[in-house]
């Protein structure tokens, strides 16, 4: 009998007969591991337990506790959901069903229109499949076999996917019971592992995301190793619904999006207060960091966008118009305008680094299906900065920019993680320039001791970037700030400076945003704070609440002193009970309520109530005003 040798994670070795699987290896290690094993990492790649192992393979046996297990579990759950849908709705055609962050989905082409009340039925059928503990069996097919098999089953979407695979690609299918799907795997050993699952919602989705293709029905779900984890996640979903920025935007009168302008938000007075405060904070911080503010036109001609590369690399996301029979574009980015500002006069090395900043309104064509409140819009303001520098200033300027972004997020109470996004497929420029830019970004992150991960292929078309992903109070991640190093665009625009040697040199540019887009950042803040903004951001900071009509005169005096001190204050002098006034102020999430009764009027004080802390006792108004102004000036969270 021929024996194969396998190297385990700890460096030890095991010998088993040729043809042994990872499941056999797990059983040879220990009965407990054989029971808990769900997956294997073989020579660095994840594989099913049932696949034969090659001789000399490095093998790691994984259990449900492994970080990779959750994605595999969710991928298997997508197959189980598709099987349940096919059982309940014969004739359903399959599109794709991947694992995604927090869950999975599957897209179906079917004659019936799914409704929310269908989800419990599908979920119940999934539970039956789970109870059946059906093994997921992998089969390798030739290209012709795969096309013929799925064509005979009428699965045109699968056939299209197979036909686009490289000629030498290994094609596999997975079967559990009567259900067979085109899939690269890997999967759980059997369906019985999916104990804690839940279907969540329905949506429409175009095949391949292209509106020219058929509209499919998408079912979203999630699954976790343990019921307690599922319950915790479902509670987070409910909390997220309460915090939905679209719901709170209506209730707190912050913004609206009308059918006359889908994707184009209207700011209401309360929303403008928040926006203005964000802009003021942005201007303060950039001025202190040595930036000069500029403003560039919204519409610029075709030649500019051809020169910048947007015409070739970004055209499908742009809006166009004609002026005097010549093509113009509404800007999707502020960068080319900043290049022209740099170019407007002769620059010397003594002028560098030149730090320019712009709150620039940009427009991007988004498909109607992806528009989402203020999170995904067609018109938004980017808080762009462009720093032009010499080669030996790169590390210093990148370091300063990272510090500035860190200060922004600390001010709003966000933690974050960092990704280094590298060269995409549609990039422009030489290999040498990209390697130099990526190395520079990596070096400054390592020198500053900033932990980061690599996000391959997600850089901008003109340069790699550092992306900041902030984490909100519900543990959700949002990509906001970015720092992009660019050797390409200054050269394309013919930018130069006179060096110490008297010769012309091309500057390096750093493109960066801190908020990302003010609209999206506002939406994140609304949900993060649940509409209860810190005092400095709150549209109304104080509401004065007289108890009876005879307290109105003193309440008016209190209101006027607060107003004159620069606080955003309202006076609620309606003939309503004080309990109703307090309740409505709470619902409006006003940070401070000043209750005025006979005792307060006689003593010349105010009774202070906080929206979260309740009654804070009586205070002398000048002292309270001084304290509130200090909290606002320091932008304290509470």
Homologous superfamily assigned to 542-633: Anticodon-binding domain (3.40.50.800)
pLDDT at position 171 is 92
Q: Where are the beta strands (DSSP E) in 18-129?
A: 39-42, 45-47, 58-62, 93-94, 99-100, 103-109
Given 75, 93, 465, 581, the catalytic residue: 465
User: What pTM, to 2 d.p., does this model score?
Assistant: 0.83
pLDDT at position 23 is 93
Given 109, 118, 384, 572, the catalytic residue: 384
CATH architecture assignment, domain 69-242: 2-Layer Sandwich (3.30)
Given 364, 469, 589, 609, the catalytic residue: 364
CATH number assigned to the domain covering 3-62: 3.10.20.30
CB 420 within 8 A of CB 437: no
Would residue 355 show up in a list of annotated catalytic residues for this protein? no
Would residue 9 show up in a list of annotated catalytic residues for this protein? no
Distance CA(409)–CA(520), nearest Å, equals: 15
Given 75, 386, 469, 568, the catalytic residue: 386
Rounded to whole angstroms, what are the CA distances from 584 to 472, 542, 555, 560, 570? 27, 13, 18, 22, 13
Provide the token pair at 457: 């292929």
Distance CA(577)–CA(579), nearest Å, equals: 5
- Name the DSSP letter for residue 375: T
Rounded to whole angstroms, what are the CA distances from 258 to 133, 204, 249, 255, 370? 50, 22, 13, 10, 16
CB 255 within 8 A of CB 271: yes
Distance CA(376)–CA(370), nearest Å, equals: 7
Task: Collect the ranges in the chain with pLDDT lower than 70.
Answer: 638
What are the pLDDT digits (tens) for 225-237? 999 999 999 999 9
Given 176, 382, 484, 488, the catalytic residue: 382
CB 549 within 8 A of CB 598: no
Distance CA(125)–CA(107), nearest Å, equals: 18
CATH number assigned to the domain covering 263-296+333-529: 3.30.930.10
CB 309 within 8 A of CB 462: yes
Cβ atoms within 10 Å of 433's Cβ, excluding its own: 20
At what angle are helices 118-132 and 69-88 packed, to 10 degrees?
110
Would residue 589 show up in a list of annotated catalytic residues for this protein? no
Would residue 386 show up in a list of annotated catalytic residues for this protein? yes
Would residue 86 show up in a list of annotated catalytic residues for this protein? no
Q: Where are the domains of the chain?
A: 3-62, 69-242, 263-296+333-529, 542-633
Distance CA(225)–CA(255), nearest Å, equals: 40
Name the residue among 265, 231, 233 with its Cα closest to residue 249. 265
Would residue 175 show up in a list of annotated catalytic residues for this protein? no
What are the pLDDT digits (tens) for 316-371? 899 999 999 999 999 999 999 999 999 999 999 999 999 999 999 999 998 887 88
Would residue 610 show up in a list of annotated catalytic residues for this protein? no
Cα four-point dihedral sign 420, 424, 429, 431: positive
Given 41, 347, 511, 552, the catalytic residue: 511
Q: What share of the chain is helix, strand, coil (3-state, %, to 5)?
A: 40, 30, 35
């Amino acid at each position: 009998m021929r024996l194969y040798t396998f190297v385990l994670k700890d460096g030890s070795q095991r010998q088993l007969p040729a043809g042994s699987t990872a499941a056999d290896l797990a059983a040879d290690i220990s009965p407990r591991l054989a029971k808990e094993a769900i997956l294997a990492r073989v020579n660095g790649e994840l594989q099913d337990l049932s696949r034969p192992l090659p001789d000399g393979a490095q093998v790691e046996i994984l259990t449900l506790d492994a970080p990779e297990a959750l994605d595999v579990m969710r991928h298997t759950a997508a197959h189980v959901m598709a099987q349940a849908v096919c059982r309940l709705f014969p004739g359903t055609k399959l599109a794709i069903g991947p694992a995604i962050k927090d869950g999975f989905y599957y897209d179906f082409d079917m004659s019936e229109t799914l409704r929310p009340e269908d989800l419990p039925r599908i979920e119940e059928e999934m539970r039956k499949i789970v109870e059946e503990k059906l093994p997921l069996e992998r089969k390798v097919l030739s290209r012709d076999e795969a096309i013929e098999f799925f064509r005979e089953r009428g699965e045109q979407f699968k056939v299209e996917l197979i036909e686009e695979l490289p000629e030498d690609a290994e094609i596999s299918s997975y079967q559990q019971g009567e259900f067979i799907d085109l899939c690269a795997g890997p999967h759980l050993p059997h369906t019985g592992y999916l104990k804690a699952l839940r279907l969540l919602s329905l949506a429409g989705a175009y095949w391949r995301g292209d509106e020219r293709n058929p509209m499919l029905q998408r079912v979203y779900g999630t699954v976790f190793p343990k019921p307690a984890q599922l319950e915790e996640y479902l509670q987070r979903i409910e909390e997220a619904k309460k915090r939905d920025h679209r719901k709170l935007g209506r209730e707190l009168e912050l913004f609206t999006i009308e059918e006359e302008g889908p994707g184009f938000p209207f700011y209401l007075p309360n929303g403008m207060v928040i926006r203005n405060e964000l802009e003021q904070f942005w201007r303060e911080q950039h001025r202190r960091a040595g930036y000069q503010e500029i403003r560039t036109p919204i519409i610029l001609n075709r030649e500019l966008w051809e020169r910048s590369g947007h015409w070739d690399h970004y055209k499908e996301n742009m809006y166009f118009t004609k002026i005097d029979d010549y093509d113009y574009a509404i800007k999707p980015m502020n960068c080319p305008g900043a290049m022209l500002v740099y170019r407007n006069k002769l620059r010397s090395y003594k002028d560098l680094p030149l730090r320019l900043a712009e709150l620039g309104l940009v427009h991007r064509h988004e498909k109607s299906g992806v528009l989402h409140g203020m999170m995904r819009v067609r018109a938004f303001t980017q808080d762009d900065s462009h720093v032009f520098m010499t080669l030996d200033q790169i590390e210093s300027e990148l370091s300063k920019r990272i510090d500035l972004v860190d200060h922004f997020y600390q001010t709003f109470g966000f933690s974050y993680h960092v990704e280094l996004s590298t060269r995409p497929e549609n990039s422009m420029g030489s290999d040498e320039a990209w390697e130099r830019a990526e190395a520079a970004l990596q070096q400054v992150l390592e020198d500053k001791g900033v932990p980061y991960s690599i996000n391959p292929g997600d850089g901008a078309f003109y340069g790699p970037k550092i992306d900041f992903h902030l984490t909100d109070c519900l543990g959700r991640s949002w990509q906001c700030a970015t720092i992009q190093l660019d050797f390409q665009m200054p050269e394309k625009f013919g930018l130069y400076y006179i060096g110490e040697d008297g010769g012309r040199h091309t500057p390096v540019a750093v493109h960066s945003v801190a908020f990302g887009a003010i609209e999206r950042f506002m939406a994140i803040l609304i949900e993060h704070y649940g509409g209860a903004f810190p005092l400095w951001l709150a549209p109304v900071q104080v509401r004065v609440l007289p108890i009876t009509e005879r307290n109105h005169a003193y309440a008016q005096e209190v209101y006027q002193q607060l107003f004159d001190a620069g606080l955003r204050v309202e006076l609620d002098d309606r003939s309503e009970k004080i309990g109703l006034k307090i309740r409505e102020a709470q619902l409006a999430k006003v940070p401070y309520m000043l209750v005025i009764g006979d005792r307060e009027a006689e003593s010349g004080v105010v009774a202070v109530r906080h929206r979260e802390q309740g009654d804070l006792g009586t205070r002398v108004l000048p002292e309270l005003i001084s304290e509130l102004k200090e909290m606002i000036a320091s932008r304290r969270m509470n």
